[in-house]
Structure 1
Amino acid sequence: MLQQKPLLRGRIHQLAFYITIILTLFYITISLIKSYKYELTLYIIGQLTLFGISSKYHLTDWKNEKTKKIFQKLDHISIFLLISCTQSSFVLTLLPKIEIVNKILILTWTITLLGILKIICISNEYEIIDVSLYMIHGVSIVPFFHILLKYINISKMFYLVFGGVFYIMGGVVFGMHRPDPFPSVFGYHEVFHVLTVIANTCFMIPLLQWYYGVINGVSIGVDNCSNSSMGVSNMDR
């Protein structure tokens, strides 16, 4: 007998998907009137991909096992894509045009490519392996923190760090299947989804602040003192 899915399985990411669509429509409107930025578009694509595929996979009452497995793989692939889209958007918007940006981009997208190949070619028998890969991918930016601190002010780093903490907490919950507060309605997987939405919100705030600065002609998010001492003009961003 198949285990009954919790009542709210997939609903949290479905709500996040709808909210992202609304924000996307606002962004498209503003970009047509004011300024289009591919960096923010990349972030939005990552959000729409993950929340859309995740809600579709978890809400569907699958009749065809083969189709279900395909969407399960797409669901897992979308996590790698989300992490890379988020990291890429963050460094492209909040860092000046320095060499380290390219290194971070190469690293994060290489991990995503390897992760996608793993999901496609290797069975998903051991869930802990995938969870570990997601967490490694997420913290792959940590070795660059000493450089990020030279250019990004404390408030933006606050969001970056706390977003990462919520993601790691989500990974731990997903891997341990605990806590599982109300299994028939709101189980461990729903806790995991809530934590991912909170993490995404932490990353979204500085990106929206940056875009607000762009459309209003104000430099927001880069540490002015650090940039001056490093000989980098705020006009680079």
Structure 2
Amino acid sequence: MGNNKHTYSPLEETANTITHGLGVLLSIAGLFTLLYYNNLENDIWRTVGFSIYGSSLILLYLSSTLYHGTKDSKLKKIFKRFDHSAIFLLIAGTYTPIVLISMRDTWVIYLFILIWAMTVFGITGEFLFTQKFKHLEFIMYIAMGWMALIAIKPLLGLPIETFTWIIVGGVIYSIGVVFYKWDSLPYNHTIWHLFVLGGSISHFIAMFYI
């Protein structure tokens, strides 16, 4: 995941690449793990939900790894857009199995549709209005993530483990934003990446208990 305001040293970019390269491997393993255990239940909603979630997780870490790993300036600009777009996809992708498995017959489905509509809007804005869109983009990330609280009552109906790990993941992501914005701190972006990994792992655990 890239920051628009900061230039990283070669060592920092190496660390940024390694941390989210690890995320790619963990995401692939996580997707296959979820699908394997789902096969024991043979539930189509779980298959669809976990496939979308796992794919969005892989795309996030892959695009971030490519962005930080490439030295070609033109490619870097392209991968940066994919990197930022993948954040929208992961947010919507994380909602997907939770809603499809446990809430598809409730009003939360309308919130789910709104989240995906915002994702399409966000990705479109990233590619068409990159510079003008960057401030709204960041606000949208935070808002979309915590819009889950609108559905707090249905969320409380989830298994306590799922609910707890969803909140833990959200808090970890949110704390990580402090380091994302802390440009004067050496390796701030690598630290941010570690928080992203922590948030992703927390939400992955939540999926097991749905």
Q: TM-score, normalised by structure 1?
A: 0.75
Shift of the alpha carbon at 1:87?
A: 1.1
Whole-angstrom distance in 1 between the partners of 2:31 and 2:91: 19
The 5 Å alignment of 1:1-237 reads 4-5=9-10, 6=12, 7-27=14-34, 35=42, 37-62=47-72, 65-93=73-101, 95-124=102-131, 127-149=134-156, 151-177=157-183, 180=185, 183=186, 187-210=187-210
The whole-number CA distance in structure 2 between the counterparts of 1:28 and 1:143 is 29
Larger Rg: 1
More helix by share: 2
| Alpha-carbon distance in structure 1 between the residues aligned to 2:162 and 2:36 | 26
Do the aligned partners of 1:131 and 1:171 also contact (CA within 8 Å) in 2?
Answer: no
Task: Output the CA distance in 2 between the equivalents of 1:155 and 1:206.
Answer: 6
CA-atom RMSD in angstroms: 2.3
Provide closer, same or farther for how the CA distance between residues 147 and 30 of structure 1 changes in structure 2, counting only shifts above 3 A.
closer
Match of 2:16, SS state, is coil
* C-alpha contact (below 8 Å) 1:53/1:74 kept by paired residues: yes
Distance 1:33 1:144 in 2: 29
Secondary structure (helix, strand or coil) at the match of 1:99 reads coil
Q: Is the 8 A contact 2:172 2:199 kept in 1?
A: yes
After superposition, the Cα gap between the structure-2 partners of 1:11 and 1:162, relative to the gap in structure 1 and judged at 3 Å, is: same
Letter in 1 for 2:64: S
In structure 1, the residue corresponding to 2:131 is in which secondary structure? coil
8 Å CA contact retained: 1:127, 1:175: no
Shift of 1:53: 0.9
What amino acid is the match of 2:179?
V
**Secondary structure of the corresponding residue to residue 177 of structure 1:** coil
Aligned partner of 2:159: which letter? N
Comparing 116-125 and 7-16, the one that deviates more: 116-125
What is the aligned length? 199
The letter for the 1-side match of 2:175 is: M
State TM-score, norm by structure 2: 0.84
Give the aligned residue type for 1:142: L
AA of the residue aligned to 1:90: I
Write the deviation string for residues 126-174 of structure 1: whole angstroms up to 9, x where unpaired: 754432221111112211112321x213332111111111111222321
- Segment drifting more, 83-92 vs 97-106: 97-106
Q: Which residue of 2 aligns with 1:227?
A: none
Secondary structure at the aligned position of 1:8 is classed as helix
Residues 13 and 55 in structure 1, CA contact (< 8 A), matched pair in contact too: yes
The residue matched to 1:170 in structure 2 has which SS?
helix
1:159 counterpart letter in structure 2: W
Using the TM superposition, give the Cα deviation of residue 77 of structure 1 relative to its aligned residue in structure 2, in angstroms: 0.2
Gaps spanning 5+ residues in structure 1: where?
211-237
